[in-house]
Amino acid sequence: MEFFDAPLDHDENSDQTLSELESGMGIDDEIHAEWIDEIHRRVAAYDRGESIPLEFDEAMENLRRALAARRPSEVDPVF
């Protein structure tokens, strides 16, 4: 699913992801059902204006900054 370089089309991308998950892809039925529910929750939140889409690079940069902020400035040696 290489859609990160194109403008975000949440309907197309969520439909594609949902189709892939609905096909089963050899995953456990319980996990499969949980992912289907999660996709529906995320699309509904987007539709209600409770979340905004991010391009992949922006999301990764946000994660890197958040992780860097949590790291201690100096690592204590382990003895």
Check pLDDT > 70 for residue 77.
no
Q: What six digits make up the tokens of 13?
A: 């991308």
pLDDT score recorded for residue 4: 40
Q: Return the SS3 of 40.
A: helix
CB-based contacts of 27, cutoff 8 Å, min separation 6: 35
2-22 pLDDT tens trace: 334 444 455 666 666 667 656
pLDDT score recorded for residue 40: 93
29, 3, 34, 27: which is closest to 16 by C-alpha? Answer: 3
Write down the domain spans for the chain: 30-66
Block residue for tokens 């995953």: 27
pLDDT score recorded for residue 21: 59
CA dihedral 62, 31, 37, 41 (to 10 degrees): -10
25-57 pLDDT tens trace: 666 888 888 988 998 999 999 999 998 888 999
